Structure 1
Amino acid sequence: MARYGMLLDLTACAGCMACTVGCQMQNELAPEIHFIKYYQQEYGTFPDVSLVNIPVQCQHCENPPCVYNCPTGASYIGDGGIVLIDEHRCIGCKYCMTSCPYNARVLDEETKTPVKCVFCFEQIHEGEQPMCVRTCIGDARIFGDLDDPEGELVRAINERHARPLRPDLGTKPKFFYVW
C-alpha cells in the first residue's frame, strides 16, 4: 500500500491560485471555502527583500492531532495514509479544526461540519493525480508514494532538500516544501 505525500516547490510557485480554483471545481466547493490557503512571507533585509507565496493545505500527518482529538472517530487515517473525514460520523464539534496546527480545515456552513483536502482521494485511486497537481502552471507540485525510493516524489524531496512545515510539532507531515 502506498503512503502518499506531496512536494511543493515554492521557487516554482507563481502564486496564481490555479491549484485553489482547480480544487474548488473538483470538490464543488462554495466560493468562500478554500482547502488551499495562501500565506505570504518576507525574506531578506532592505533593499534585498523578497516575498514568497506559501500555499498551505492539509498536511496529511502521520501523527495527526485532528484524528486523535475527534471524539466520534469521524476523522481517521485512510488508505495511503490520507487523513479523511466520515461526514456521517461527524457531529460538528470542531475539535479537529482547533487541533490542526496548519489551520487546514474549514467549516462548511451548509452542513455545519468541517471539510478539508483529501488529496483527491477518489481520483488517485483511479490512477489520476490530485487536481492541484494537474492545474499547477509552474509544475511546482509533485504527488506520489513516499515509500517508493525510486519514485519522482522521493527523489525530488532528497535532491531539492525539501522539508515539512513545522517539524517541531511532531505531527510528521507528509507534505514537503522547497524553500
Structure 2
Amino acid sequence: MADDEIWDVTDIHGTPTGALHRRGDGPVPVGSFHVVASVCLVSTTGRVLLSRRAEGKDYPLAWEFPAGSALRGETSRAGARRELEEETGIAVAPDDLVLVGRVVEERALFDLWSAPVDGEPEPAPDPEEVLDAEWVGLDEVYRRWKAGVFATPWNARFDQLWDVLSERVASSGG
C-alpha cells in the first residue's frame, strides 16, 4: 500500500492511455480509471476466503475478498493473483482465474475474479494489509454484506455481481 505505487491510467474499456498515476497523489483524473482486481477463492468444500482489512487501511476492519490496484504494466489477472498472494500467502495459477465481472466505478474499473482451490489452505495474512482471513459459506458473505461489515465499495459491487458470483461459487465448490 505504498505511496510510491504506480498505476496505469486507463480508458473506460481498461485500455492503458499511456499516462501513469502515483498512489497517494489523489484520484486519477476525471474520465480516467485505474484497474482494481479482486479474487474470490473457492474451496472444494464450497466455502470462500474472506479477508478483514488491517486497522491502518481505508475502511479499517471491514471484510472483503482480497483485492488491490493493478500496478504499472500489470493486467487485471496478474494484479489479482499478486494481491491474493501478498495479502493471504495463497498462490493460484493464472489460468485458474475466471472473470466473474467488471464494475465501472467513478474512477476505477473493478474486476472480480474467482479461482478454485483444493481444500481450505491456511492463510498467512500480511499484517499491514490484512488483520484476519477466514473460510466461510456464501450465505455468511451475504449476511455480512447486508449487515454492513464489508468495505463500503463492496455494496455496489455485490449489487451488480452477486448473482453471477453465486452461480460461479455453486459450480466451483464442493
Whether the TM-score (by the shorter chain) exceeds 0.5 is no
Structure of greater Rg:
1
TM-score w.r.t. length of structure 2: 0.30
- Choose between structure 1 and 2: higher strand proportion: 2
The structure with higher relative contact order (CA 8 Å, sep 6+) is: 1
TM-score (norm 1): 0.29
